[in-house]
């Protein structure tokens, strides 16, 4: 790493403001203190909780297996030792870039030297006739998970709207609790935006084997209170069929919180536009995590990532850059999902139209799908095969070419 000094040529920062209170924000404040920043550090967040991790929300917290305090990023005493001024609950409402002034909904003002936006996003909402009931929930926050988990333990039939990762993880957790589940997905296959058809088919087979009723390729026309019981719901699909359920949860994607940045005149395009250091087009303002659209050197293109690994590692690089330490974020994108007895991990670039090299047995739920380009691994989907993914990561970082036939031959060790 190289000391790049003050980003904009001014003196080192003495006051750093962090907008957001999630995982990325937590790693920002931890990293700043670890790297020796001893100035004023203020975190503005609309939730009352200390920074926490989101992956357990759709699994252990939702099922009731994990207490809410187990998801905290930092133990209370350790967080107190970081000496962070927590403006919670509060919400940043305006960034005055010329005066380097941050204003909040509760009337506070803060003059900053550096400002880091880690606001994440909000669960996309159904609208109009699709949301004509109060018996509908979304899952994004810790409070959402606690509330939905409590409701799920009281019902027999859950309707899940959306066949993406959140929807499928909620469905798997509900089945684990013995709840009947129907999943509605308007696209022609599950997780269509992020995985190729072969993985979508695997996921569909997995959930059907667990008793989930999948309705794929048909959209939701309306969601109302059930005519016979206002505590239940009735969904009308685009093909005219109806589904009765006790409760509904929608997992239809994330909308990044970019309004504050847009109002401040920062560049926004599917997220706040930043460079490899997390710097926006204002050298005093940074962004990272779910809300940031960064140039990824390994992919060779811009991307906005919604993953645990990105929220942590991009936040670390951004925090360092804000105090003048050049540590560019150029990691291979990595994502995972746990559903039933399956751990599925995705690493790198997984094209929708490429035929993978398959190692293992998809039917046995233990296989790795390698996506090659010019003889080198550019992406991998590992199903209950973490060791394969670890080796693939090494090859991908090296740009190493591999032999297609040897990849497929399970009698030949990958190492």
Burial group, residue 99, by CB count within 10 angstroms (0-12, 13-18, 19+): exposed
pLDDT of 6 strictly over 60: no
Q: What is the DSSP string of 266-316?
A: --BSSSEEE-TTSB-SSTTEEE-GGGEEEEETTTTEEE---SHHHHHHHHH
pLDDT for the residue 69: 86
- The tokens of 240 are what? 């005219």
- The tokens of 203 are what? 């996921």
| Cβ contacts of 365 within 8 Å, gap of 6 or more | 206, 341, 342, 383, 384
Tell me the angle at which helices 308-322 and 23-34 cross, rounded to the nearest 10 degrees: 40
Placement of tokens 């969904």 in the chain: 235
Q: Which residues pair with 153 in a beta bridge?
A: none
CA distances from 111 to 17, 103, 132, 146, 150 (A): 9, 9, 44, 36, 42
pLDDT for the residue 153: 93
pLDDT of 2 strictly over 50: no
E strands within 186-277? 213-216, 220-226, 229-237, 242-245, 247-250, 254-256, 272-274
Q: Are 244 and 157 in contact (CB under 8 A)?
A: yes
Cα–Cα distance, 152 to 174 (Å, whole number): 7
Average pLDDT of the chain, as a whole number: 94
Q: Helix (H) and strand (E) counts for the chain?
A: 10, 28
Question: Checking DSSP bridges between strand 366-373 and strand 272-274, what pairing results, if any?
Answer: unpaired
Q: What is the pLDDT of residues 54-76, one digit of tens each?
A: 888 899 999 999 888 889 999 99
Cα–Cα distance, 391 to 395 (Å, whole number): 6
Q: What is the pLDDT of residues 275-323, one digit of tens each?
A: 999 999 999 999 999 999 999 988 999 999 999 999 999 999 999 999 9
Share of the chain above pLDDT 70, in %: 98
**Stated pTM of the model:** 0.93
Q: Which residues pair with 172 in a beta bridge?
A: none
Share of the chain above pLDDT 90, in %: 88
Cα–Cα distance, 40 to 5 (Å, whole number): 19
pLDDT for the residue 49: 93
Cα–Cα distance, 137 to 131 (Å, whole number): 10
Give the mean pLDDT of 356-372. Answer: 96
Lowest mean pLDDT among 3-12, 73-82, 85-94, 359-368: 3-12
pLDDT for the residue 284: 97
User: How far is C-alpha 414 from the chain's CA centre?
Assistant: 30
CA distances from 375 to 100, 371, 402, 403 (A): 50, 9, 6, 7
pLDDT for the residue 319: 98
Cα–Cα distance, 92 to 291 (Å, whole number): 15
Closest CA to 48 of 113, 132, 149, 143: 143
Domains of the chain are: 2-122+255-326 (3.50.50.60), 125-252 (3.50.50.60), 341-408 (3.30.390.30)
Give the mean pLDDT of 193-212. Answer: 97
Residue 98 phi/psi, 5° resolution? -65, -40
Helices within 241-307 (DSSP H only): 259-263
Q: Are 303 and 287 in contact (CB under 8 A)?
A: no
Helices within 41-98 (DSSP H only): 60-63, 76-81
Q: How many CB atoms lie within 10 A of CB 129?
A: 12
3-state secondary structure of 308: helix
pLDDT for the residue 9: 53
User: Left if phi > 0, otherwise alpha if psi is -120 to 50, otherwise beta: which for 284?
Assistant: alpha
pLDDT of 99 strictly over 60: yes
């Amino acid at each position: 790493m190289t000391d790049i000094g003050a980003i904009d040529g001014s003196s080192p920062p003495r006051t750093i403001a962090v907008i957001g209170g999630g995982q990325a924000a937590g790693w920002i404040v931890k990293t700043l203190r670890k790297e020796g920043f001893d100035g004023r550090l203020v975190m503005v967040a609309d939730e009352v909780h200390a920074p926490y991790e989101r992956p357990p929300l759709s699994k252990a917290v939702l099922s009731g297996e994990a207490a809410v305090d187990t998801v905290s990023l930092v133990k209370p005493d350790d967080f107190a030792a970081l000496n962070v001024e927590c403006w919670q609950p509060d919400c940043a409402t305006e960034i005055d870039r010329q005066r380097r002034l941050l204003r909040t909904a509760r009337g506070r003002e803060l003059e900053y030297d550096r400002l880091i936006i880690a606001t994440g996003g909000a669960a996309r909402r159904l609208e109009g006739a699709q949301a004509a009931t109060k018996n509908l929930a979304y899952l994004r926050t810790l409070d959402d998970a606690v509330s939905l988990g409590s409701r799920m333990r009281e019902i027999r039939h859950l309707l899940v709207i959306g066949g993406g990762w959140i929807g499928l993880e909620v469905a798997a957790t509900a089945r684990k609790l013995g709840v009947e589940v129907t999943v509605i997905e308007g696209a022609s296959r599950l997780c269509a935006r992020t995985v190729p058809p072969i993985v979508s088919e695997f996921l569909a087979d997995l959930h059907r084997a667990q008793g989930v009723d999948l309705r794929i390729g048909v959209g939701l026309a309306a969601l109302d209170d059930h005519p016979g019981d206002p505590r239940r719901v009735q969904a009308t699909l685009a093909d005219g069929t109806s589904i009765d359920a006790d409760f509904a949860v929608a997992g239809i994607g994330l909308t990044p919180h970019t309004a504050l940045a847009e109002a401040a005149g920062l560049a926004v395009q599917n997220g706040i536009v930043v460079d490899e250091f997390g710097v926006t087009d204002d050298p005093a303002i940074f962004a990272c995590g779910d809300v940031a659209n960064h140039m990824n050197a390994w992919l060779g293109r811009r991307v906005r990532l919604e993953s645990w690994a990105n929220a942590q590692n991009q936040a670390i690089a951004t925090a360092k850059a804000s105090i003048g330490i050049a540590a560019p974020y150029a990691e291979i994108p990595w994502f995972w999902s746990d559903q039933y007895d399956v751990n599925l991990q995705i690493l790198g670039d997984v094209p929708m139209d490429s035929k993978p090299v398959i190692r293992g047995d998809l039917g046995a739920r233990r296989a790795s799908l390698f996506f090659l380009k010019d003889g080198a691994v550019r992406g991998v989907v590992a199903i209950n095969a973490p060791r394969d993914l670890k080796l693939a990561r090494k090859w991908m970082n090296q740009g190493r070419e591999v032999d297609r036939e040897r990849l497929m031959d399970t009698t030949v060790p990958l190492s």
